Structure formats: structure tokens, C-alpha cells
Structure 1
Amino acid sequence: MFTISDEFPLVEGLCYLNHAAVAPWPKRASEAVMAFARENVGLGARDYPQWLTVERRLRERLMRLLNAPSTGDIALVKNTSEALSFVAFGLDWQMADQVVISDEEFPSNRIVWEALKPRGVDVIQVSLSGHDPEGALLAACGPRTRLLAISAVQYASGLRLDLVRLGAECQRRGVLLCVDAIQQLGAQPFDVQSCNCAFAMADGHKWMLGPEGLGAFYCRSDLREQLTLHEYGWHMLEHAGDYERRDWQPAKSARRFECGSPNMLGAMALEASLSLLEEVGMERVAAQIEERVLQLQEGLQQMAGIDLHSPLNPVRRAGILTFSLAGWDNQQLFAQLREKQIICAQRGKGVRFSPHFYTETGVIERTLAVLDQLRRG
């Protein structure tokens, strides 16, 4: 059984609260990459079949993390944006089709839909600021709505949506549900089947504790062949490896979206990181993140001049807590915190903290003490 100090050794004075941006790797991911590098130096690709075994384990872990029906529903992609582009430029759009999104989306889940304007697709942006954000999104879905594209958790506010409700209603209306899951996958349990997701995608470098450059794309099996492909290569073929075959066709599985050689280096790291999350268990991960967010929330609420911009109801958030401090410019406050080795981000209306399950209580206590000191001047 691992210990937190073994997997995430504390760096003196560093308070890392930025998992909603780019997360540190656990030690096991670093060791997997170093072992892979040593093997490449000494042996090259002699043991490539063993590398493929690691890649298969990665697909299996992602399948379980998403609760996908099979590994064939999972494609390994470069990032969330690539997967969103597969959907946006794969669907057969008709003039005046509509895509409904929120007005809080990260650019990845806005620009890709706005780029469809030349095809006659309208993008409807919906405010989530009311008491019923799901109701507002669904109210915007009319007879021309083809797809609802929404982040499971909004990157700036930390608002978590009821995907089960959205998915059930989308299914009833014949609307495709596309979920950018990057701020939930690895922080909270996520289930593509209970949410009736048509598509879901996420990078590995945030809550999944993996490297940049590798993510997951879930595509429901009945929709795979409906997405027109725009990338072709040896790896996405049904009979990949049969190099002399002339009658080819795209893979029936989601591998059809993986046109060329895999990111094997990233696979080594992400597979190791996901093994840690599985060892802990996602229910426990979510509970411990909530404990740390609550500790931050209670500490901030005791400070005069602090405004919280994230939901206070635990069912409405994952791991994000955003705040501002009266009399301080957000950029200035962020810079001061960073100078004090409080690693966070400036997002939306304020400064964003995002602890993970392993974040030590002492890290949060020091963060609150530094912030209080800055507040007092």
C-alpha cells in the first residue's frame, strides 16, 4: 500500500493547489517514464509487445473510470480539443442546426462550435447563473438543436452540473450530449452510461495526475460510424499491422480516431497515475477532495473582504474554489500568492484553488495563513 509522502513528497514551502490546470505526477508515473527511457536507451523497441500490454491496461483503466461499456469505446487522443474537433467536424451538419453551450465554457468547448459557422450552424450560449442551470440549458434546446455541449464542471466557477438529468432529457428529445469531462474525471465518479453521453473527453494532465499530450475520447458505439473521419493512417485501420493489405477500412472500435503511432511515453505515465486513483478508489478520492475544499472554504469565510464565486453546496462542485479579495486586483493577488509559493490560477472572477485528494492539511493551513497575511497588509 502506498503512502502519500512516497507518491507526493512535500517540497519545503510549496503549496500546490492547481490541479484544475496542470497536476504534479505521482512518483510511480515518474518511475514508469524513467524505466521506459532506460529501456529505450539500452534495448530500443525490442520489447514493444510489452509496451502494448501497458497501453491495453491504460484503455482498461479509462474504460472503468468512465464506466464505458468496453475498451472499444475509448480512443487515446492528444487532448480534449482534438476529441471535440472529431465530433464538431465529424457530424453531418445541416444548415440552421444548433449547438447549445453555456456562457462559461473554456475556449476549447466554445471555439470548436463557433468554427462551424461557415456550415450554417448556430451556437446558442446559455447563462448558468440562475437557480436551475440545467433547466436553462434544456429550455434553450429547440427543434433545431442537434447537440448540447457542456463541461461537467465549469473551469472558472467550479459549478458541477447534473449530467444524469441533462442526459435523460437529451435522449428524450433526440439531442446528442457531448461532455467535456476534464474538470471531473479523476476528481469525482463519472459514468457515461448513466449520463447517456454521446461523447465525452478529457485530458490526462489535470485530475488524472498524468502528463500533457494524452487524453481519452469516449464515443458511443452507435455513433462512431456517423462521424466523418478527417485523419487517416496505418493505426486507425481495422486490420492494422497487415501492411500489404490493399482493401482497408477504418477500425470498428474507437481506434478509428487514432490515425498514427501512439504516444507510448505518455501511456506509460498515465497508466501508472490511473493505477493510483484506482488503488484509492474514486469515491474516496471525491470525499477527500471535498474535505479539502471545505477546509479552504471555511477558512476563507472567516476572512473579511473575501468573496466566494464557487458553489457552496457540495453536490454542485468537484475540486474548484474561486474567490476574490476586496481591494485587490485578481492578477496582483495571484502574483503575490505565487511569489509565496502558493501555486494556483487566476480564472473567471478571481483566484482559483484546486486541491486533490492527497493535499496535506498543513498545505491548506499555510495557504490560508499567507492569504490572511496579505489581506492584513
Structure 2
Amino acid sequence: MRYTNGMNTNTDSSGSLDRLAAEEFPVTENHIYLNHAAISPWPERARRAVQAFAEGITRDGSLHFQDWQETERSLRERIRDLLNASGTETIALVPNTSAGLSLVAAGLDWRPGDNVVITDSEFPSNRMPWEALAGQGVEVREALCTPAGDADCEGNILRLVDDRTRVVSVSSVQFGTGRALDLERIGQALSGSDTAFCVDAIQSLGAFPFDLEAIRADFVAADGHKWLLGPEGLGLFYCAPQWLERLHLHQWGWHMAEPFGDFDAREWRPATTARRFEPGTPNTPSNHALEASLSLLQEVGIVRVAERIQARVEYLIEGLSALSDAEFISPVDAGLRAGILNVRFGGRTDKVYQALREGGVQVLTRAGGIRFAPHFYNRYSELDRVLEIVRGA
């Protein structure tokens, strides 16, 4: 995966980062955690943030409401920085990726004969909202992206686009194969057309730089509980300025209205910012957790995070390549991969998986293989232990 911007980089040595990781991730005391493509452990600072919030509301009720709002403002600014967005007015806090993508699917004016282009290896969150439009006469077209290391995924996507394509919606990284898409190529090809570009960024945001200016996405959705190291139940939705008032709304509540905070107003209108997609009360405890988690990623520097993830994936590739029965489902080309490495082991894949789980290694099976997903804090000694278990299974 190419790095698409020059976001903050921490120049501390690897030793300093390793010490920081040891302080922030007590999960490493009991597990070798390589399951960040599913659900990530929280860093210690996220636990402390939620604990402090819980203690405050238990003691004082809503006394610290202004502080909660400041945390929410800080969270939006951190998300803006991660996306390289022009401002926070384009960012909504939503329950999850599915909710964000559904805002687009339900918000457009569809006509019979319209189509949506996705890939053949999308997670259901980026397939079901579009398939649900079949009753309105909308066709879903699936571009060939498998085998992950061979198919011209981006070219296949663009070849399916025609004058009735309303949306191209793709995952930045495919959840099963780990194939990273060249979002800039797709975004540039669609720029200036009538086709909107939508990105499910859940498998890359927090692991690799993301540059809206270069990618030219109209919509981006992502959950906080994977590479962003945050809680479940809180995600983000980016809506480009030109689309903010073009998406039809289907949810209504006090939080999305103007004048904001005037609960007696009988005349109101939806906010002109992305707050229009947030109908009700914020998920304040999760706001505290995700804000703290993002502070860690930005303290380390997202470019440094990406370098360390790539190095760990490379280490696993080199170690597993020595095994005669290792078959890589994920691309091994550094330009096509991200933080996911999916591998089959001939007729012993199930045995390897069981041995890893029994050995305290948290991984999952996906797409017929074992999916390894290390983060920046994983130690090479942990990866050596993983390789030892795989060899001995």
C-alpha cells in the first residue's frame, strides 16, 4: 500500500516505541494478539479515559458536560487529521461502518436501471446496503479482485462503470485477502464524473495514511474498533461538502437540528454540516475511548505506524515462505498489501489454527486461510513464537 500523505511522524527510536507499546498494551502479557482486522484491544490510555468518565458521571452526574463536549470536539479534529479532511464540518460520528454506508445508499435518488460497482470480495457491510436497492431497480456489479495478487482490481472496477453508475463503493483493503486498492487511481478516474466514490476504510484507517485530497472520495466510513484501537459502537462518516445537503435524511432528532440546543424551537432545519447525520444523543463514553486511542496513534505518527505494520507483515512473509505448504492468499507484493496476511497450510490449516489458538495467539480464519493482522506494537519475539508454532503444528 502506498503512503498517500506526510502526516505526523515521531522520530523516536524503535526502542522508545517498544517501551511505549509495553506500557499501553497489557494484552501482550497474556496473548500474542494478531487479530486487529477483527477487534482490537484498547490501549491503556483508552481504559483510563473511560474509567475517568465513569467515575465523573457516577460522582457528579452531568456536571462535566462541557468537558465531554470538548472531548468530542477533540475527537472530530483527530479524525479530520487522520483523513486529511479540510474541516470537521464534513465528519459525522456514527454507530458503525454499516450506518455510514447506509446513509449513502438510502440518501440518493435512485432510478430503475442505475447501478453500483463494488468488488467480488467485499465484507457484507459494503454489499448489503447496495443489494437492498434491488427493489428500486438498482443493479449491483461485482468487479473481479481475486486472486488478490493477480487481478487488476482497479481496472476491473473502472471497466464496469458506465453512464448509469451512481456509486463506486469499495473497501480500501479487502477483509479476507488483505488486498489493498489503489484508491487514488479510482478516485482520479471518477473525478469530474456523475459517479460518486465511496470508501469503506475500516481495514486501513489507523494503520496507514489516508489522504482525501489525493483520493478524492465523496464518502468514507469506518469503525473505531479495528486498526483505530477503539471501542465497538462508534465510527466515522465523511461526506464531501457538495454532498452534505444532497443526501436525503431518514433519521430525525434534536442533535441534528438548527438552532442547536434550542429545545423549544418549533421552526427548525437540519444542520448544514455533517451533524445532520447525527440525530440523537452522542455515545459519550465511546467518544472518550476513541479520542484517547487516536491520541496514541498520532503520538506515534501514522507513517511510523504504517512502517512498523509493513515490517511485521514482511517478517511473517519471510518466515512462512520457508514452509513448503504455505500458500499466500494475500498478495506478497508490498504495493498490493496492507496489514492483513492470509495464509493456507495445505491439509493442515485447521491444525495450525488450533495450535495457534492453544498457544495464546489470537487470529481468525478467513477466505479459507488463517488471517494474521499485526499492529505497530507487536514484538518480533512474538512473531518468532508464531512461526515456531506454525512449523510444529
What interval of TM-score do these two structures reach, taking the shorter chain for normalisation? over 0.9
Task: Pick the aligned partner of 2:141 from 116, 124, 141.
Answer: 124
Structure 2 counterpart of 1:269, one-letter code: A
Partner of residue 10, structure 2: none
- Displacement of 1:13 after TM fit? 5.1
2:62 aligned counterpart, secondary structure: coil
Q: How does 1:166-245 map to 2 (within 5 A)?
A: 166-245=186-265
Partner of residue 101, structure 2: 84
Structure 2 counterpart of 1:345, one-letter code: L
Q: How does 1:270-309 map to 2 (within 5 A)?
A: 270-309=290-329
User: Which stretch of structure 1 is more off in the superposition, 49-58 or 128-137?
Assistant: 128-137
1:335 is the counterpart of 2:354? yes
Task: Pick the aligned partner of 1:46 from 49, 59, 63.
Answer: 63
Query: Following the alignment from structure 1 to structure 2, what is the Cα–Cα distance between the partners of residues 252 and 41?
Result: 35
Contact persistence 2:320–2:326 (CA under 8 A): yes
Task: Pick the aligned partner of 2:86 from 65, 69, 73.
Answer: 69
1:143 is the counterpart of 2:160? no
Question: Residue 59 and residue 155 in structure 1: after superposition, are their counterparts in 2 closer, same or farther (change >3 A)?
Answer: same
2:180 aligned counterpart, secondary structure: coil
Structure 2 counterpart of 1:104, one-letter code: S
Q: How does 1:22-41 map to 2 (within 5 A)?
A: 22-41=39-58
TM-score w.r.t. length of structure 2: 0.93
Partner of residue 102, structure 1: 119
2:365 aligned counterpart, secondary structure: strand
Contact persistence 1:177–1:197 (CA under 8 A): yes
Contact persistence 1:199–1:218 (CA under 8 A): yes
Q: How does 1:3-22 map to 2 (within 5 A)?
A: 3-9=20-26, 11-12=28-29, 14-22=31-39
2:99 aligned counterpart, secondary structure: helix
- Displacement of 1:173 after TM fit? 3.3
* CA deviation map 1:333-354 (0-9, x unaligned): 4333212211011111311000
* CA deviation map 1:257-300 (0-9, x unaligned): 00000000000000000000100111100000001000111111
Number of residue-to-residue matches in the alignment: 373
2:222 aligned counterpart, secondary structure: strand
Query: Following the alignment from structure 2 to structure 1, what is the Cα–Cα distance between the partners of residues 27 and 279?
Result: 40
Partner of residue 268, structure 1: 288
Query: Following the alignment from structure 2 to structure 1, what is the Cα–Cα distance between the partners of residues 277 and 126?
Result: 19
Partner of residue 323, structure 1: 343
User: Which stretch of structure 1 is more off in the superposition, 130-139 or 344-353?
Assistant: 130-139
1:3 aligned counterpart, secondary structure: helix
Query: Following the alignment from structure 2 to structure 1, what is the Cα–Cα distance between the partners of residues 303 and 342?
Result: 23
Structure 1 counterpart of 2:23, one-letter code: D
Partner of residue 350, structure 1: 369
Structure 2 counterpart of 1:361, one-letter code: Y
Contact persistence 1:192–1:200 (CA under 8 A): no
Structure 2 counterpart of 1:137, one-letter code: I
1:193 aligned counterpart, secondary structure: helix
Contact persistence 1:239–1:248 (CA under 8 A): yes
- Displacement of 1:11 after TM fit? 4.0
- Displacement of 1:131 after TM fit? 3.8
Percent identical: 47
Query: Following the alignment from structure 1 to structure 2, what is the Cα–Cα distance between the partners of residues 316 and 74?
Result: 28
Contact persistence 1:97–1:144 (CA under 8 A): yes
Contact persistence 1:105–1:155 (CA under 8 A): yes
Structure 1 counterpart of 2:294, one-letter code: L
Query: Following the alignment from structure 1 to structure 2, what is the Cα–Cα distance between the partners of residues 335 and 81?
Result: 31
Query: Following the alignment from structure 2 to structure 1, what is the Cα–Cα distance between the partners of residues 196 and 213?
Result: 13
Query: Following the alignment from structure 1 to structure 2, what is the Cα–Cα distance between the partners of residues 323 and 49?
Result: 49
Query: Following the alignment from structure 1 to structure 2, what is the Cα–Cα distance between the partners of residues 8 and 18?
Result: 14
- Displacement of 1:316 after TM fit? 1.1
- Displacement of 1:327 after TM fit? 1.2
Partner of residue 115, structure 1: 132
* CA deviation map 1:142-196 (0-9, x unaligned): 1211110000000011100111110011114321100000001001000122111
Contact persistence 1:337–1:343 (CA under 8 A): yes
- Displacement of 1:303 after TM fit? 1.2
2:370 aligned counterpart, secondary structure: strand
Question: Residue 10 and residue 107 in structure 1: after superposition, are their counterparts in 2 closer, same or farther (change >3 A)?
Answer: closer
1:173 aligned counterpart, secondary structure: coil
Query: Following the alignment from structure 1 to structure 2, what is the Cα–Cα distance between the partners of residues 322 and 14?
Result: 20
Contact persistence 2:174–2:180 (CA under 8 A): yes
Partner of residue 313, structure 1: 333
1:46 aligned counterpart, secondary structure: helix
* CA deviation map 1:221-262 (0-9, x unaligned): 110111110100000012220111111000000000000000
Question: Residue 333 and residue 312 in structure 1: after superposition, are their counterparts in 2 closer, same or farther (change >3 A)?
Answer: same
- Displacement of 1:328 after TM fit? 2.1
Query: Following the alignment from structure 1 to structure 2, what is the Cα–Cα distance between the partners of residues 362 and 13?
Result: 14
Partner of residue 254, structure 1: 274
Query: Following the alignment from structure 2 to structure 1, what is the Cα–Cα distance between the partners of residues 159 and 345?
Result: 35
